[in-house]
Chains A and B, each alone.
Chain A
Amino acid sequence: MSDILSFWGTYLPQILDGLGISLKVTGASLAIGIPAGLALALMVQAKSRFLRWFCLAVVEIGRGAPALILLQFAYFGLPNVGVSLTSFAAAVAALSWSTAAYTSEIIRAGLQAVPRGQIEASDALGLSFADQLRFVLVPQGLRVAAPALLGFAVLMLQASSLAFTIALPELLSQAYIIGTTTFRYMPILCLAGLLYACICIPATLLVGWFERRLARHA
């Protein structure tokens, strides 16, 4: 046991570096993907048929294709058309797409949950369409969507481990590298798993708390 602890102690800094990268990739993907998801959720209701179809395609591909394929596409595929991305940029690009596609559905459901009376009231007050979105629909819709978005963020942190396949030195890659040099896969993978759990379990509890709170206010 003390043997494992000292092994963990030796490699903790490297593992934490990996966790840092995992969090950065996840954070960046959410920061780009959620606003993009909001934009998609709003645009699928646009009048322009072209815009609607475009959004639908972006969403369906983003949800239909496994995140792993999107990652491979961004890292190995794009250079063929003259775009080469670092593994970090490729991971963010792919995971942002995934995030945008999934969260657009979550946010759309949130927007649809805003009672009709809210739209009527803002119409009757004479708010412009843009103001109605900005001050009434979007804030309320996002509030409804918040627990599901937070839940999705947890999944995204886990999905960031897929970037292991494009040589991004995130948490799982670091564990794997340490495993190959020390041949002690088991303990180091356990440590990596523990670190994921340390973030995901509290976040999941937070989601539950959030949901109960929202239910009480509805």
Chain B
Amino acid sequence: MIAEIQAGPRVPEAAPNILEVRNLRKSFGVHEVLKNINFAMRKGEVVAVIGPSGSGKSTLLRCLNQLEPASGGEITIDGLTIRADHQLRRAELMGLRRKAGMVFQSFNLFPHLSVLRNISLPQERVLGRSRAEAEKRAHALLERVGLADKASQYPARCSGGQQQRIAIARALALDPQVMLFDEPTSALDPEVGLEVLAVMKELAEGGMTMVVVTHEMHFAETVSDRVLLMADGHILEEGPSAEVMRNPKSERAQRFLKAVMNR
């Protein structure tokens, strides 16, 4: 436990911003789901996004890689800026998605491809790597997530926790600048979720920039550098994890944290 108490910010203050979100808005019809979101992340930072159901956490994450086109504002990832009021060019969209890797709650592995192929195919198609190169990388990543022996299996033969670790390897194989996680452990039994969280923790320690939407308060508190607490499409509170989670300022945040901490 001692090791988890960190003296000062883990990421140097001087590290450049790798992600900036300015005045981001998103509406579905008349329903405004994200209302003027602003935040920035430095390279290597891990940000946990927490908040009640329906507060817009997933939508925020999905706007970051344009799975949902934003209705207003700007997003900059690693020097590439996307403006909602500009027609998005295909090359920009592809560039953005290349910089951001995403991990879903439901894994979304390709069921008709072997585990190895799930990881190697996107490398070949998106980055133009050779088959041999892509498979070498895939094997190395499988090793890293503790699943070297699963390479030739099909996803359906793997447990949920294994599938999620494979999904993480698949995203990492494309060398993203930022990793986006949308409740990666919510579909898993708690013990199984721990395997996945362990991989994510290792990734964070390795310096990966990560945005993690999560209901795992322990993870948010111990692994992430910062917490964004969302409610009703706003960022209600933002700050160092321990600060936001131990001493929330607003009554709404106190209520939410009290409810989830007692679970």
Chain A residues with CB under 8 Å of chain B are 115, 117-118, 120-121, 123-128, 131, 135-136, 139-140, 143, 217
Partner among B106, B112, B126 whose Cβ is within 8 Å of the Cβ of A125: B126
Partner among A123, A126, A127, A140 whose Cβ is within 8 Å of the Cβ of B112: A140
Q: Using a Cβ–Cβ cut-off of 8 Å, how many residues does chain B contribute to the interface with A?
A: 24
Q: Which of B1-9, B97-105, B193-201, B211-219 contacts A (4 or more CB under 8 A)?
A: B97-105
Contacts of B190 in A (CB 8 A): none
B110 at the interface (CB under 8 A from A): yes
- Chain B CB count within 10 A is highest, among A124, A131, A136, A139, for A124
Contact with A along B30-57 (1 / 0, CB 8 A): 0000000000000000000000000000
- Given A135-B121, A135-B125, decide whether A217 and B108 contact each other with a Cβ distance below 8 A: no
In chain B, positions 247-262 with a C-beta closer than 8 Å to chain A are none
B108 touches A120 (CB 8 A): yes
B156 at the interface (CB under 8 A from A): yes
Alpha-carbon gap, A131 to B97, bound state (A): 15
In chain B, positions 164-193 with a C-beta closer than 8 Å to chain A are 170-171, 174
Partner among A121, A131, A140, A143 whose Cβ is within 8 Å of the Cβ of B125: A131
A124-B97, A125-B97, A139-B112 known, 16 other contacts, Cβ within 8 Å: A117-B106, A120-B108, A121-B108, A124-B67, A124-B102, A125-B122, A125-B126, A125-B170, A125-B174, A126-B94, A126-B97, A126-B122, A135-B110, A135-B113, A143-B112, A217-B111
B104 touches A126 (CB 8 A): no
Alpha-carbon gap, A120 to B100, bound state (A): 13
A117 touches B108 (CB 8 A): yes
Contact with A along B120-132 (1 / 0, CB 8 A): 0110011000000
Alpha-carbon gap, A128 to B124, bound state (A): 12
In the A-B complex, list the 6 residue pairs whose CB atoms are closest, starting with the nearest.
A121-B108, A126-B97, A124-B102, A117-B108, A125-B122, A126-B126
Would you give 13 A-B contacts (Cβ < 8 Å), ordered by A? A117-B108, A123-B97, A124-B97, A124-B101, A124-B171, A126-B94, A126-B97, A126-B174, A127-B122, A135-B125, A136-B110, A140-B110, A217-B111
In the assembled complex, the CB of B95 is this many whole angstroms from the nearest CB of chain A, namely 9
What residue of chain A has the Cβ atom nearest to residue B100's Cβ? A124
B59 at the interface (CB under 8 A from A): no
B111 touches A140 (CB 8 A): yes
B65 at the interface (CB under 8 A from A): yes
In the assembled complex, the CB of B213 is this many whole angstroms from the nearest CB of chain A, namely 14
In the assembled complex, the CB of B151 is this many whole angstroms from the nearest CB of chain A, namely 18
B104 touches A121 (CB 8 A): yes
In the assembled complex, the CB of A71 is this many whole angstroms from the nearest CB of chain B, namely 37
Alpha-carbon gap, A127 to B174, bound state (A): 11
- Given A126-B97, A126-B98, A135-B125, decide whether A120 and B174 contact each other with a Cβ distance below 8 A: no
Contacts of A128 in B (CB 8 A): 94, 125
B104 touches A117 (CB 8 A): yes
Alpha-carbon gap, A118 to B174, bound state (A): 18
Contacts of B171 in A (CB 8 A): 124-125
Contact with A along B125-156 (1 / 0, CB 8 A): 11000000000000000000000000000001
Alpha-carbon gap, A128 to B110, bound state (A): 16
A127 touches B126 (CB 8 A): yes
What residue of chain A has the Cβ atom nearest to residue B95's Cβ? A126
Alpha-carbon gap, A140 to B118, bound state (A): 14
